[in-house]
Structure 1
Protein backbone atom coordinates (compact mmCIF):
# COMPACT_ATOMS: atom_id res chain seq x y z
CA UNK A 1 0.00 0.00 0.00
CA UNK A 2 1.45 3.36 -1.05
CA UNK A 3 1.54 6.14 1.58
CA UNK A 4 -1.01 8.85 1.06
CA UNK A 5 0.10 12.37 0.23
CA UNK A 6 -1.62 15.59 1.05
CA UNK A 7 -2.93 17.77 -1.77
CA UNK A 8 -4.22 21.31 -1.80
CA UNK A 9 -7.65 20.10 -2.93
CA UNK A 10 -8.16 17.38 -0.30
CA UNK A 11 -7.21 17.46 3.38
CA UNK A 12 -5.29 14.46 4.59
CA UNK A 13 -8.07 13.24 6.86
CA UNK A 14 -10.49 13.25 3.95
CA UNK A 15 -8.03 11.23 1.89
CA UNK A 16 -7.70 8.69 4.68
CA UNK A 17 -11.47 8.47 4.97
CA UNK A 18 -11.75 7.84 1.22
CA UNK A 19 -8.98 5.23 1.30
CA UNK A 20 -10.49 3.33 4.19
CA UNK A 21 -13.98 3.52 2.69
CA UNK A 22 -12.66 2.11 -0.58
CA UNK A 23 -10.95 -0.78 1.21
CA UNK A 24 -14.15 -1.59 3.06
CA UNK A 25 -16.33 -1.29 -0.05
CA UNK A 26 -14.19 -3.59 -2.14
CA UNK A 27 -14.18 -6.18 0.63
CA UNK A 28 -10.56 -6.02 1.73
CA UNK A 29 -12.01 -6.25 5.23
CA UNK A 30 -15.24 -8.20 5.38
CA UNK A 31 -18.23 -7.09 7.41
CA UNK A 32 -17.60 -8.27 10.97
CA UNK A 33 -13.82 -8.39 10.51
CA UNK A 34 -11.40 -6.39 12.64
CA UNK A 35 -9.29 -3.87 10.75
CA UNK A 36 -5.52 -3.73 11.45
CA UNK A 37 -4.45 -2.15 14.75
CA UNK A 38 -3.98 1.60 14.74
CA UNK A 39 -0.14 1.65 14.67
CA UNK A 40 -0.03 -0.87 11.82
CA UNK A 41 -2.68 0.85 9.75
CA UNK A 42 -1.18 4.30 10.28
CA UNK A 43 2.18 2.98 9.06
CA UNK A 44 0.55 1.39 5.99
CA UNK A 45 -1.13 4.65 5.07
CA UNK A 46 1.89 6.77 5.89
CA UNK A 47 -0.06 9.08 8.21
CA UNK A 48 0.01 9.98 11.87
CA UNK A 49 -2.12 8.14 14.40
CA UNK A 50 -4.14 11.26 15.19
CA UNK A 51 -5.05 11.64 11.53
CA UNK A 52 -6.07 8.00 11.33
CA UNK A 53 -8.04 8.32 14.55
CA UNK A 54 -10.07 11.20 13.10
CA UNK A 55 -10.80 9.23 9.93
CA UNK A 56 -11.89 6.15 11.88
CA UNK A 57 -14.10 8.31 14.06
CA UNK A 58 -15.79 9.78 10.98
CA UNK A 59 -16.41 6.34 9.52
CA UNK A 60 -17.78 5.18 12.84
CA UNK A 61 -20.29 8.05 12.79
CA UNK A 62 -21.17 7.03 9.23
CA UNK A 63 -21.97 3.52 10.46
CA UNK A 64 -19.16 1.73 8.63
CA UNK A 65 -16.89 1.00 11.59
CA UNK A 66 -17.47 0.01 15.19
CA UNK A 67 -14.81 0.93 17.75
CA UNK A 68 -14.86 -1.48 20.68
CA UNK A 69 -12.77 -0.47 23.63
CA UNK A 70 -10.17 -3.07 24.48
CA UNK A 71 -11.02 -5.17 21.42
CA UNK A 72 -10.32 -3.12 18.30
CA UNK A 73 -12.22 -1.61 15.40
CA UNK A 74 -14.56 -3.76 13.34
CA UNK A 75 -16.29 -3.35 9.99
CA UNK A 76 -19.97 -2.78 10.68
CA UNK A 77 -21.23 -2.34 7.10
CA UNK A 78 -19.85 -2.30 3.56
CA UNK A 79 -21.34 1.10 2.72
CA UNK A 80 -23.25 3.97 4.23
CA UNK A 81 -26.36 2.72 2.45
CA UNK A 82 -26.09 -0.80 3.88
CA UNK A 83 -25.59 0.71 7.32
CA UNK A 84 -28.71 2.84 6.91
CA UNK A 85 -30.67 -0.15 5.58
CA UNK A 86 -29.57 -2.28 8.51
CA UNK A 87 -30.67 0.39 11.01
CA UNK A 88 -34.03 0.79 9.28
CA UNK A 89 -34.66 -2.94 9.15
CA UNK A 90 -33.58 -3.59 12.73
CA UNK A 91 -36.98 -2.45 14.00
CA UNK A 92 -39.02 -3.62 11.00
CA UNK A 93 -41.72 -6.26 11.12
CA UNK A 94 -40.66 -9.68 9.86
CA UNK A 95 -43.48 -9.60 7.31
CA UNK A 96 -42.21 -6.33 5.86
CA UNK A 97 -38.69 -7.69 5.47
CA UNK A 98 -40.05 -10.81 3.80
CA UNK A 99 -42.05 -8.73 1.32
CA UNK A 100 -38.93 -6.78 0.38
CA UNK A 101 -37.08 -10.06 -0.12
CA UNK A 102 -39.89 -11.19 -2.41
CA UNK A 103 -39.66 -8.00 -4.45
CA UNK A 104 -35.93 -8.50 -4.97
CA UNK A 105 -35.75 -12.25 -5.40
CA UNK A 106 -38.73 -12.97 -7.63
CA UNK A 107 -37.59 -10.45 -10.23
CA UNK A 108 -33.97 -11.59 -9.85
CA UNK A 109 -35.01 -15.20 -10.54
CA UNK A 110 -36.92 -14.12 -13.65
CA UNK A 111 -33.96 -12.14 -14.98
CA UNK A 112 -31.53 -14.93 -14.07
CA UNK A 113 -33.50 -17.39 -16.22
CA UNK A 114 -33.29 -14.93 -19.11
CA UNK A 115 -29.61 -14.02 -18.81
CA UNK A 116 -27.82 -17.01 -17.26
CA UNK A 117 -24.50 -18.04 -18.76
CA UNK A 118 -22.64 -21.36 -18.50
CA UNK A 119 -20.42 -19.83 -15.81
CA UNK A 120 -23.50 -18.66 -13.91
CA UNK A 121 -24.94 -22.18 -13.99
CA UNK A 122 -21.70 -23.60 -12.62
CA UNK A 123 -21.80 -21.07 -9.78
CA UNK A 124 -25.45 -21.90 -9.06
CA UNK A 125 -24.70 -25.63 -8.96
CA UNK A 126 -21.79 -25.11 -6.59
CA UNK A 127 -23.84 -22.81 -4.32
CA UNK A 128 -26.75 -25.26 -4.27
CA UNK A 129 -24.46 -28.18 -3.48
CA UNK A 130 -22.84 -26.17 -0.68
CA UNK A 131 -26.29 -25.32 0.74
CA UNK A 132 -27.25 -29.00 0.79
CA UNK A 133 -23.95 -29.94 2.37
CA UNK A 134 -24.40 -27.38 5.14
CA UNK A 135 -27.93 -28.64 5.76
CA UNK A 136 -26.58 -32.15 6.31
CA UNK A 137 -24.11 -30.89 8.90
CA UNK A 138 -26.99 -29.72 11.10
CA UNK A 139 -25.20 -26.42 11.79
CA UNK A 140 -27.88 -23.72 11.51
CA UNK A 141 -25.45 -20.78 11.31
CA UNK A 142 -23.41 -22.34 8.51
CA UNK A 143 -26.57 -23.30 6.65
CA UNK A 144 -27.88 -19.72 6.80
CA UNK A 145 -24.61 -18.46 5.30
CA UNK A 146 -24.73 -21.08 2.53
CA UNK A 147 -28.39 -20.37 1.82
CA UNK A 148 -27.71 -16.63 1.68
CA UNK A 149 -24.80 -17.27 -0.70
CA UNK A 150 -27.11 -19.17 -3.07
CA UNK A 151 -29.58 -16.29 -3.12
CA UNK A 152 -26.72 -13.90 -3.85
CA UNK A 153 -25.62 -16.04 -6.81
CA UNK A 154 -29.16 -16.00 -8.19
CA UNK A 155 -29.18 -12.20 -7.95
CA UNK A 156 -25.75 -12.00 -9.57
CA UNK A 157 -27.03 -14.20 -12.40
CA UNK A 158 -29.65 -11.54 -13.16
CA UNK A 159 -26.78 -9.33 -14.41
CA UNK A 160 -28.33 -6.14 -13.11
CA UNK A 161 -25.69 -4.12 -11.27
CA UNK A 162 -28.16 -1.86 -9.46
CA UNK A 163 -30.21 -4.83 -8.28
CA UNK A 164 -27.07 -6.62 -7.11
CA UNK A 165 -25.83 -3.59 -5.19
CA UNK A 166 -29.18 -3.01 -3.50
CA UNK A 167 -29.47 -6.68 -2.63
CA UNK A 168 -25.97 -6.63 -1.15
CA UNK A 169 -27.03 -3.75 1.08
CA UNK A 170 -30.00 -5.85 2.11
CA UNK A 171 -27.75 -8.81 2.94
CA UNK A 172 -27.64 -8.29 6.71
CA UNK A 173 -31.42 -8.20 6.91
CA UNK A 174 -31.65 -11.23 4.63
CA UNK A 175 -29.51 -13.28 6.98
CA UNK A 176 -31.52 -12.06 9.96
CA UNK A 177 -34.78 -13.13 8.30
CA UNK A 178 -33.31 -16.52 7.44
CA UNK A 179 -32.11 -17.02 11.00
CA UNK A 180 -35.61 -16.09 12.16
CA UNK A 181 -37.15 -18.78 9.93
CA UNK A 182 -34.53 -21.47 10.48
CA UNK A 183 -34.15 -20.97 14.22
CA UNK A 184 -31.35 -22.31 16.38
CA UNK A 185 -31.67 -25.87 15.09
CA UNK A 186 -32.28 -27.39 11.66
CA UNK A 187 -35.47 -29.42 11.58
CA UNK A 188 -37.12 -31.27 8.66
CA UNK A 189 -40.13 -28.96 8.69
CA UNK A 190 -37.92 -25.87 8.15
CA UNK A 191 -36.24 -27.26 5.02
CA UNK A 192 -37.16 -25.58 1.73
CA UNK A 193 -35.94 -27.17 -1.50
CA UNK A 194 -34.24 -24.80 -3.97
CA UNK A 195 -33.44 -27.40 -6.64
CA UNK A 196 -36.48 -26.52 -8.76
CA UNK A 197 -35.48 -22.85 -8.72
CA UNK A 198 -32.02 -23.63 -10.08
CA UNK A 199 -33.50 -26.05 -12.63
CA UNK A 200 -35.92 -23.37 -13.88
CA UNK A 201 -33.07 -20.88 -14.29
CA UNK A 202 -31.05 -23.50 -16.15
CA UNK A 203 -34.00 -24.18 -18.48
CA UNK A 204 -34.41 -20.48 -19.17
CA UNK A 205 -38.00 -20.63 -17.95
CA UNK A 206 -38.62 -17.16 -16.57
CA UNK A 207 -42.14 -17.79 -15.31
CA UNK A 208 -41.16 -21.02 -13.57
CA UNK A 209 -38.13 -19.39 -11.94
CA UNK A 210 -40.24 -16.50 -10.66
CA UNK A 211 -42.90 -18.94 -9.46
CA UNK A 212 -40.36 -21.04 -7.55
CA UNK A 213 -38.85 -17.96 -5.89
CA UNK A 214 -42.29 -16.75 -4.91
CA UNK A 215 -43.30 -20.19 -3.62
CA UNK A 216 -40.48 -20.64 -1.14
CA UNK A 217 -40.95 -17.10 0.13
CA UNK A 218 -44.63 -17.87 0.63
CA UNK A 219 -43.63 -21.01 2.50
CA UNK A 220 -41.46 -19.07 4.93
CA UNK A 221 -44.25 -16.54 5.37
CA UNK A 222 -46.64 -19.37 6.22
CA UNK A 223 -44.17 -20.74 8.76
CA UNK A 224 -44.11 -17.34 10.42
CA UNK A 225 -47.86 -17.58 10.70
Structure 2
Protein backbone atom coordinates (compact mmCIF):
# COMPACT_ATOMS: atom_id res chain seq x y z
CA UNK A 1 0.00 0.00 0.00
CA UNK A 2 1.27 3.50 -0.90
CA UNK A 3 0.82 6.69 1.18
CA UNK A 4 -2.08 8.82 -0.03
CA UNK A 5 -1.10 12.34 -1.14
CA UNK A 6 -4.11 13.66 -3.05
CA UNK A 7 -7.46 15.10 -1.99
CA UNK A 8 -10.55 13.11 -1.01
CA UNK A 9 -8.52 11.11 1.47
CA UNK A 10 -11.40 9.07 2.85
CA UNK A 11 -12.52 7.85 -0.58
CA UNK A 12 -8.93 7.07 -1.57
CA UNK A 13 -8.22 5.13 1.61
CA UNK A 14 -11.54 3.31 1.24
CA UNK A 15 -10.52 2.24 -2.25
CA UNK A 16 -7.10 1.15 -1.04
CA UNK A 17 -8.67 -1.03 1.64
CA UNK A 18 -11.14 -2.40 -0.90
CA UNK A 19 -8.23 -3.31 -3.20
CA UNK A 20 -6.46 -5.14 -0.39
CA UNK A 21 -9.58 -7.21 0.21
CA UNK A 22 -10.23 -7.92 -3.48
CA UNK A 23 -6.63 -8.93 -4.10
CA UNK A 24 -6.76 -11.52 -1.34
CA UNK A 25 -4.22 -9.77 0.89
CA UNK A 26 -6.90 -9.94 3.58
CA UNK A 27 -8.99 -13.06 2.84
CA UNK A 28 -12.56 -13.51 4.00
CA UNK A 29 -12.61 -14.46 7.67
CA UNK A 30 -9.34 -12.73 8.55
CA UNK A 31 -8.85 -9.69 10.74
CA UNK A 32 -7.56 -6.56 9.05
CA UNK A 33 -4.74 -4.45 10.59
CA UNK A 34 -5.61 -2.17 13.49
CA UNK A 35 -6.37 1.52 13.01
CA UNK A 36 -2.86 2.59 14.10
CA UNK A 37 -1.36 0.09 11.65
CA UNK A 38 -3.62 1.28 8.83
CA UNK A 39 -2.73 4.87 9.65
CA UNK A 40 0.94 4.06 9.18
CA UNK A 41 0.34 2.00 6.03
CA UNK A 42 -1.68 4.71 4.29
CA UNK A 43 0.13 7.73 5.64
CA UNK A 44 -3.16 9.33 6.72
CA UNK A 45 -4.79 10.29 10.00
CA UNK A 46 -6.65 7.96 12.31
CA UNK A 47 -10.01 9.66 11.69
CA UNK A 48 -9.59 9.17 7.94
CA UNK A 49 -8.82 5.49 8.43
CA UNK A 50 -11.77 5.09 10.79
CA UNK A 51 -14.16 6.63 8.25
CA UNK A 52 -12.79 4.46 5.44
CA UNK A 53 -13.18 1.31 7.49
CA UNK A 54 -16.71 2.33 8.47
CA UNK A 55 -17.59 2.84 4.80
CA UNK A 56 -16.67 -0.77 4.09
CA UNK A 57 -18.58 -1.90 7.18
CA UNK A 58 -21.66 -0.20 5.75
CA UNK A 59 -20.93 -1.82 2.37
CA UNK A 60 -20.98 -5.23 4.04
CA UNK A 61 -17.36 -6.10 3.28
CA UNK A 62 -16.09 -5.64 6.85
CA UNK A 63 -17.55 -6.45 10.25
CA UNK A 64 -16.52 -4.98 13.59
CA UNK A 65 -16.42 -7.52 16.42
CA UNK A 66 -16.38 -6.13 19.94
CA UNK A 67 -13.12 -6.84 21.70
CA UNK A 68 -11.69 -8.71 18.74
CA UNK A 69 -11.18 -6.36 15.80
CA UNK A 70 -12.51 -5.81 12.30
CA UNK A 71 -12.88 -8.78 9.97
CA UNK A 72 -13.37 -9.32 6.25
CA UNK A 73 -16.77 -10.88 5.59
CA UNK A 74 -17.12 -10.36 1.81
CA UNK A 75 -14.88 -9.61 -1.17
CA UNK A 76 -17.25 -7.11 -2.79
CA UNK A 77 -20.15 -4.85 -1.95
CA UNK A 78 -22.43 -7.38 -3.65
CA UNK A 79 -21.01 -10.15 -1.47
CA UNK A 80 -21.77 -8.05 1.59
CA UNK A 81 -25.33 -7.45 0.44
CA UNK A 82 -25.84 -11.15 -0.15
CA UNK A 83 -24.25 -11.94 3.19
CA UNK A 84 -26.66 -9.63 4.98
CA UNK A 85 -29.57 -11.34 3.23
CA UNK A 86 -28.34 -14.84 4.02
CA UNK A 87 -27.81 -13.88 7.67
CA UNK A 88 -31.58 -13.72 8.09
CA UNK A 89 -32.35 -16.85 6.09
CA UNK A 90 -33.81 -20.05 7.55
CA UNK A 91 -31.15 -22.62 8.49
CA UNK A 92 -32.71 -25.38 6.42
CA UNK A 93 -32.91 -23.10 3.38
CA UNK A 94 -29.23 -22.25 3.71
CA UNK A 95 -28.31 -25.92 4.12
CA UNK A 96 -30.27 -26.91 1.02
CA UNK A 97 -28.54 -24.15 -0.95
CA UNK A 98 -25.18 -25.33 0.36
CA UNK A 99 -25.96 -28.87 -0.73
CA UNK A 100 -26.47 -27.76 -4.32
CA UNK A 101 -23.33 -25.61 -4.26
CA UNK A 102 -21.09 -28.15 -2.55
CA UNK A 103 -22.07 -31.09 -4.74
CA UNK A 104 -21.27 -29.15 -7.90
CA UNK A 105 -18.10 -27.69 -6.39
CA UNK A 106 -16.88 -31.13 -5.32
CA UNK A 107 -17.38 -32.46 -8.84
CA UNK A 108 -15.48 -29.54 -10.37
CA UNK A 109 -12.75 -29.73 -7.72
CA UNK A 110 -12.12 -33.39 -8.47
CA UNK A 111 -11.61 -32.50 -12.13
CA UNK A 112 -9.51 -29.36 -11.57
CA UNK A 113 -7.64 -29.69 -8.27
CA UNK A 114 -3.94 -28.84 -8.33
CA UNK A 115 -1.10 -30.12 -6.19
CA UNK A 116 -1.47 -27.00 -4.03
CA UNK A 117 -5.18 -27.74 -3.60
CA UNK A 118 -4.41 -31.32 -2.58
CA UNK A 119 -1.92 -30.12 0.03
CA UNK A 120 -4.40 -27.56 1.41
CA UNK A 121 -7.28 -30.04 1.59
CA UNK A 122 -5.06 -32.57 3.36
CA UNK A 123 -3.94 -29.92 5.84
CA UNK A 124 -7.45 -28.64 6.55
CA UNK A 125 -8.82 -32.15 7.05
CA UNK A 126 -6.14 -32.69 9.69
CA UNK A 127 -6.93 -29.33 11.31
CA UNK A 128 -10.63 -30.20 11.35
CA UNK A 129 -9.96 -33.48 13.15
CA UNK A 130 -7.73 -31.76 15.70
CA UNK A 131 -10.38 -29.15 16.57
CA UNK A 132 -12.90 -31.89 17.32
CA UNK A 133 -10.45 -33.57 19.67
CA UNK A 134 -10.14 -30.27 21.52
CA UNK A 135 -13.91 -30.03 22.07
CA UNK A 136 -13.93 -26.38 20.97
CA UNK A 137 -17.18 -26.09 19.03
CA UNK A 138 -16.38 -22.63 17.69
CA UNK A 139 -13.02 -23.76 16.34
CA UNK A 140 -14.64 -26.92 14.96
CA UNK A 141 -17.21 -24.87 13.05
CA UNK A 142 -14.55 -22.57 11.60
CA UNK A 143 -12.38 -25.53 10.58
CA UNK A 144 -15.33 -27.33 9.01
CA UNK A 145 -16.31 -24.26 6.98
CA UNK A 146 -12.70 -23.72 5.93
CA UNK A 147 -12.50 -27.26 4.56
CA UNK A 148 -15.66 -26.84 2.50
CA UNK A 149 -14.47 -23.46 1.24
CA UNK A 150 -11.18 -25.05 0.15
CA UNK A 151 -13.12 -27.56 -1.94
CA UNK A 152 -14.97 -24.68 -3.60
CA UNK A 153 -11.63 -22.91 -4.16
CA UNK A 154 -10.29 -26.09 -5.77
CA UNK A 155 -13.08 -25.86 -8.35
CA UNK A 156 -11.21 -22.82 -9.73
CA UNK A 157 -14.46 -21.05 -10.48
CA UNK A 158 -14.04 -17.47 -9.25
CA UNK A 159 -17.76 -16.69 -9.38
CA UNK A 160 -18.58 -19.80 -7.35
CA UNK A 161 -16.00 -18.86 -4.74
CA UNK A 162 -17.23 -15.27 -4.51
CA UNK A 163 -20.80 -16.44 -3.94
CA UNK A 164 -19.68 -19.03 -1.39
CA UNK A 165 -17.67 -16.42 0.50
CA UNK A 166 -20.80 -14.30 0.83
CA UNK A 167 -22.36 -17.28 2.60
CA UNK A 168 -19.37 -18.04 4.81
CA UNK A 169 -20.42 -16.25 8.02
CA UNK A 170 -23.85 -17.86 8.01
CA UNK A 171 -22.31 -21.22 7.06
CA UNK A 172 -20.06 -21.06 10.11
CA UNK A 173 -23.05 -20.09 12.25
CA UNK A 174 -25.24 -22.98 11.06
CA UNK A 175 -22.39 -25.46 11.44
CA UNK A 176 -21.81 -24.23 14.99
CA UNK A 177 -25.49 -24.57 15.84
CA UNK A 178 -25.60 -28.06 14.34
CA UNK A 179 -22.56 -29.18 16.34
CA UNK A 180 -24.00 -27.78 19.57
CA UNK A 181 -27.36 -29.46 18.92
CA UNK A 182 -26.19 -32.89 17.75
CA UNK A 183 -22.49 -33.30 18.45
CA UNK A 184 -22.31 -35.05 15.09
CA UNK A 185 -19.22 -34.47 12.97
CA UNK A 186 -19.71 -36.87 10.03
CA UNK A 187 -15.96 -37.44 10.05
CA UNK A 188 -15.89 -40.46 7.76
CA UNK A 189 -18.10 -38.68 5.23
CA UNK A 190 -15.78 -35.67 5.19
CA UNK A 191 -12.83 -38.04 4.76
CA UNK A 192 -14.57 -39.75 1.84
CA UNK A 193 -15.28 -36.39 0.21
CA UNK A 194 -11.70 -35.16 0.45
CA UNK A 195 -10.32 -38.52 -0.67
CA UNK A 196 -12.51 -38.48 -3.78
CA UNK A 197 -11.53 -34.91 -4.68
CA UNK A 198 -7.83 -35.66 -4.21
CA UNK A 199 -8.16 -38.83 -6.31
CA UNK A 200 -9.74 -36.83 -9.12
CA UNK A 201 -12.80 -39.08 -9.13
CA UNK A 202 -15.66 -36.77 -10.13
CA UNK A 203 -18.40 -39.35 -9.65
CA UNK A 204 -17.16 -40.37 -6.21
CA UNK A 205 -16.73 -36.71 -5.17
CA UNK A 206 -20.29 -35.90 -6.22
CA UNK A 207 -21.65 -38.97 -4.42
CA UNK A 208 -19.62 -38.22 -1.27
CA UNK A 209 -20.85 -34.62 -1.12
CA UNK A 210 -24.44 -35.74 -1.68
CA UNK A 211 -24.11 -38.40 1.04
CA UNK A 212 -22.71 -35.85 3.49
CA UNK A 213 -25.49 -33.34 2.96
CA UNK A 214 -28.24 -35.95 3.04
CA UNK A 215 -27.09 -36.69 6.58
CA UNK A 216 -27.02 -33.01 7.51
CA UNK A 217 -30.44 -32.21 6.02
CA UNK A 218 -31.94 -35.27 7.73
CA UNK A 219 -31.02 -33.75 11.10
CA UNK A 220 -33.39 -30.87 10.34
CA UNK A 221 -36.29 -33.27 9.91
Q: TM-score, normalised by structure 2?
A: 0.84
Aligned to 1:129: 126
Q: Tell me the CA shift for residue 64 of structure 1.
A: 3.3
Q: Distance in 2 between matches of 1:64 and 1:130?
A: 27
Q: Distance in 2 between matches of 1:125 and 1:78?
A: 25
Q: Distance in 1 between matches of 2:12 and 2:56?
A: 12
Alignment of 1:97-136 (within 5 A): 97-136=94-133
CA RMSD after TM alignment:
2.7
Report if aligned partners of 1:29, 1:35 keep a CA contact under 8 Å in 2: no
| 1:183 and 2:192 correspond | no
Aligned to 2:14: 17
Q: Distance in 1 between matches of 2:71 and 2:138?
A: 20
Aligned to 2:92: 95
Q: Tell me the CA shift for residue 72 of structure 1.
A: 8.9
Structure 1's 218 and 57: CA in aligned 2 closer, same or farther, altered over 3 A? same
Aligned to 2:194: 198
Structure 1's unaligned 5+ residue stretches are none
SS of equivalent residue, structure 2 residue 101: helix
Aligned to 2:2: 2
Aligned to 2:74: 78
Q: Distance in 2 between matches of 1:157 and 1:63?
A: 25
Q: Tell me the CA shift for residue 50 of structure 1.
A: 4.6
Aligned to 2:31: 33
Q: Tell me the CA shift for residue 161 of structure 1.
A: 1.7
Q: Tell me the CA shift for residue 217 of structure 1.
A: 0.8
Q: Tell me the CA shift for residue 83 of structure 1.
A: 2.1
